[in-house]
Amino acid sequence: MKKPRLNHDSSLGQNREWIKNTLLSLIPIALFFLFWQAASYQIPRGVLSSPARIARGMYRAFTDPKGEILKHTLISLEHIGLGFLLAGIVGAAFGFLLGTFFKPLERLFIPFFHVCEKLNPFAIVPVFMFLFGIGREQKIAVVFWACVWPVLFNIQEAAKSVDLQLIRAARAMGAGRLKLFSAVILPCTLPSIFTGFRLAIRVAFFMIVMSELLGASSGLGWYYMQQTYKYKLDLMYGSILYITVLTITASFLLGLLEKHFLAWKQKTFQ
């Protein structure tokens, strides 16, 4: 009867610690917006919009019966989701293959992949516009290109660094490649997999906005440019903050998913 009580107390203590850390992390953000609000009284309205005006403007945008901002949000999220999914599949496949069973090919492909990764993203977007036009396929391709490299390199390095003693022990017990991958390699590389995913999702939002700025007729980047052309400062600044919140939310959700799978990993090795 005492053990559940201890587990309950431990869980309660962790929740309190999480709430405390969350509140502490919100203090700098609150101070930043307070400073911004104070600075807006000293700076002309045509240059800087206050957080209060931005909040009112974004509220009107979200409650607009036309639902324009929500429509563009869904379009951008669709492009991000598909590009991120494809990057996850391709990046994980190449990362695991080059880091485990096909290591001789690592010297051939990894230097080339690193060169591809270093290409200037501003130069890549026009190339994809030329190849795919300015439609849906181009946005997905841009997100895919930006996301695939952090996923691939993080997984490849993690798979290559798996403890050889674990691999030898699994092989000594008769594990084939599939069992070796599922029971040893995958659990050991989970932290790096999620590190790559978190890096990729941040880059994805940056790239989708950039591609929609350069050539699009919909999406959050296009919506931001429209507010800029119309000189609606509250919605212009609000769009930037909104995209930032979406990026943080996506990264947070991946963090929750990571905690779930890392808990599974701990149980596996207990």
For the segment 106-148, what is each residue's pLDDT rounded down to a tens digit? 888 888 888 888 887 778 888 888 888 878 888 999 999 999 9
For the segment 27-48, what is each residue's pLDDT rounded down to a tens digit? 888 888 888 888 878 777 777 8
269: confidence class by pLDDT, cuts 50, 70, 90? very low
Q: Distance between CA atoms of 177 and 247, rounded to whole angstroms?
A: 37
> Are 232 and 56 contacting, i.e. CB atoms less than 8 angstroms apart?
no
Q: Distance between CA atoms of 264 and 262, rounded to whole angstroms?
A: 5
Instruction: Tell me: pLDDT of 186 over 90.
Output: no
* Mean pLDDT, residues 60-69 taken together: 88
Its pTM stands at 0.82
- DSSP states of 9-21 as a string? HHHHHHHHHHHHH
| pLDDT (0 to 100) of residue 266 | 52
**Domains in the chain: ranges and CATH:** 68-269 (1.10.3720.10)
What are the C-alpha distances in Å from 66 to residues 71, 122, 221, 223, 225? 9, 33, 18, 14, 18
The listed range with the strongest mean pLDDT (31-35, 83-87, 185-189, 256-260) is 83-87
Q: Distance between CA atoms of 147 and 257, rounded to whole angstroms?
A: 18
Q: Distance between CA atoms of 269 and 151, rounded to whole angstroms?
A: 24
2: confidence class by pLDDT, cuts 50, 70, 90? very low
| pLDDT (0 to 100) of residue 74 | 94
- DSSP states of 72-97 as a string? HHHHHHHHHHHHHHHHHHHHHHHHHH
